[in-house]
Amino acid sequence: MSAAPILPGAAIGILGGGQLGRMLAAAARRSGYRVHVIAPGTATPAGQVADEVHDAEPSPELLRGLAGELSVLTYEFENLSAAAVEAAAEHLPVRPSPHTLRTTQDRAREKAFLREQGLPTAPFEAVTGGEAAAAAVQRIGPPAVIKSAGLGYDGKGQARVDSADEVAAVWPSIGAEAVVVEACIDLAMEVSVVAARGVDGSFAHYGVTENRHRDHILDLSVSDAELDPRTSEEAVAIARAVGAGLDAVGTYCVEFFLDGSGRLMVNEVAPRPHNSGHLTIEGAATSQFDQQLRAVCGLPLGSTRRLAPAAMVNLLGDVWDAGTPPWAEAFRDPAATLHLYGKDAPRPGRKMGHITVLGDDRQEAGRRALELRNRLAPHVVS
């Protein structure tokens, strides 16, 4: 594919209509690009801020037909037809590549990739069917987590079992035959590295972010996790190796578990901007979305310099449980920024928006972010 950079005025295609596409589209349009969103729905979060919306599931035919209008195609989530993306790649640059998508859209393939690269993961086995899963739980040693290989996000398609005998009871809730069985890790901390890789192999990263989850969904991210410097360096080195091993182009994220003995394990890889990187919009010189734009357009990566310690708290559907939140509260903190994604149905667990707070230090930023959410939704307990 052409190595010439893609410049303002060109049209970028985004597969997927969610909030990650919305924030990429906003960044791209601000810099003078045109944005086409390809996803079912006429008023999706990304579609609301796009120049053009193609209201359809991406198929090989649709993407071949659109190729002439677009300079580059990227994606904001992984649950896509890899065949459609491969068909598109015959006609225009697709970044990250269909190969990167195929590897990361399936937990079993992703874990196999990590193992081949010699990168640390929790002990796991990829198996098919409930009986094989029970046998794997027995071999790995309970407690274990069973995760569907495809189509999982925010803890969906997952179940924890305390013995192999429990597998039969939880099996229907997994909703898939192909699964990964993983040892349950006694977590001291969860962290992530949001990074970017350019067309030329250049690398940039936003440091190590601490992530706290609630019901398996990210709740709070705070910049610059307090780890011993060697662990931080190792996390960044692993993130770099993951990007190089995938030949990734764009912003991507590596999620880690840290156990009580200080051992890092890769949990999963996202070949796109990540919820834990939203704090880079206000907190870094180049946001993860501006970085994605630069990378997929073949431009030099931007500075990832941290402007201030930052924290981000998610606003899930439960924030609306007592009615419309008192939004004025979100603006009382002069260093807070409210993001709402334009979703009209606040279902439980649905990511509706987030708030970023910049602070003098990371603890203070984290505390203020949680306080703000508490004022919006006192009934939400983190």
Ligand X SMILES: Nc1ncnc2c1ncn2[C@@H]1O[C@H](COP(=O)(O)OP(=O)(O)O)[C@@H](O)[C@H]1O
> Phi/psi at 78 (nearest 5 deg)?
-100, -10
Look up residue 313 and give its two tokens.
Answer: 């708290």
* One-character DSSP codes across 120-138: -B-SEEEEESHHHHHHHHH
Nearest to 79 by CA among 44, 40, 51: 40
Please, which residue, 234 or 268, has the CB nearer to ligand X?
268
Q: What are phi and psi of 226, to 5 degrees?
A: -85, 95
CB of 253 to ligand X, least distance (A): 11
Residue from 166, 182, 318, 333 binding ligand X (CB under 6 A): 182
Within 10 Å of residue 169's Cβ, how many Cβ atoms? 11
Is there binding between residue 78 and ligand X (CB under 6 A)?
Answer: no
Binding residues for ligand X restricted to 258-287, rule: CB under 6 A: 267-268
Binding residues with ligand X: total (CB under 6 A) = 17
Can residue 153 be called a binding residue for ligand X (CB under 6 A)?
Answer: yes
| Rounded Cα gap, residues 111 and 131, in angstroms | 21
User: Distance of CA 320 to CAs 19, 323, 324, 376, Å?
Assistant: 18, 5, 6, 9
Q: Residue 86 is inside which H or E element, if any? A: helix 82-89
CA distances from 75 to 9, 25, 79, 99, 156 (A): 20, 11, 10, 13, 21
**Rule CB under 6 A: is residue 188 a binding residue for ligand X?**
no
Q: Among all residues, whose Cβ is closest to ligand X? A: 185
Q: How far is the CB of 83 from ligand X (least distance, A)?
A: 22
- Helices marked H in 16-81 — which ranges? 19-30, 60-66
Is residue 187 involved in binding ligand X (CB under 6 A)? yes
Q: What is the 3-state secondary structure (H, E, C) of 212-225?
A: EEECCEEEEEECCC
Smallest distance, Å, CB 154 to ligand X? 5
| Nearest distance, CB of residue 368 and ligand X, angstroms | 24
CB 145 → ligand X: shortest distance, Å? 4
Q: Does 216 bind ligand X (CB under 6 A)?
A: yes
Which pair of structure tokens corresponds to residue 381?
């307990």
**What binding mask, one character per residue, do residues 224-263 give for ligand X by CB under 6 A, x or -?**
-------------------------------x--------
Specify the amino acid at residue 248.
A
Q: Using CB under 6 A, which of the segments 41-49, 183-191, 310-318, 329-337 binds ligand X?
A: 183-191
Min dist CB 286 to ligand X, Å, is 25
Contacts (Cβ under 8 Å, ≥6 apart) of 192: 208, 209, 211, 221, 253, 254, 255, 256, 274, 276, 277
Under the criterion CB under 6 A, does residue 214 sit at the interface with ligand X?
Answer: no
Q: Does residue 327 interact with ligand X by CB under 6 A?
A: no
Answer for which of 60, 155, 317, 346 binds ligand X (CB under 6 A) is: 155
Query: Residue 181 contacts by C-beta under 8 Å, 6 or more apart in sequence?
Result: 124, 125, 126, 127, 133, 136, 137, 140, 144, 145, 146, 147
CB of 203 to ligand X, least distance (A): 23
Piece of 43-51, 133-141, 184-192, 285-293 that binds ligand X (CB under 6 A): 184-192
Mark 13-52 with x for binding to ligand X (rule: CB under 6 A) and - for no binding.
----------------------------------------
When the beta carbons of 33 and 124 are compared against ligand X, the nearer one is 124
Which parts of 118-137 interact with ligand X (CB under 6 A)?
122
Q: How far is the CB of 118 from ligand X (least distance, A)?
A: 20
Residue 305 touches ligand X, criterion: CB under 6 A: no
AA letter at 295: A
Q: Is 145 in the site for ligand X (CB under 6 A)?
A: yes
Q: Which of 17, 45, 152, 198 binds ligand X (CB under 6 A)?
A: 152
Query: What does the radius of gyration of the chain's CA atoms come to, in whole angstroms?
Result: 20
| Positions in the binding site for ligand X (CB under 6 A) | 122, 145, 147, 152-155, 182, 184-185, 187, 190, 213, 216, 255, 267-268
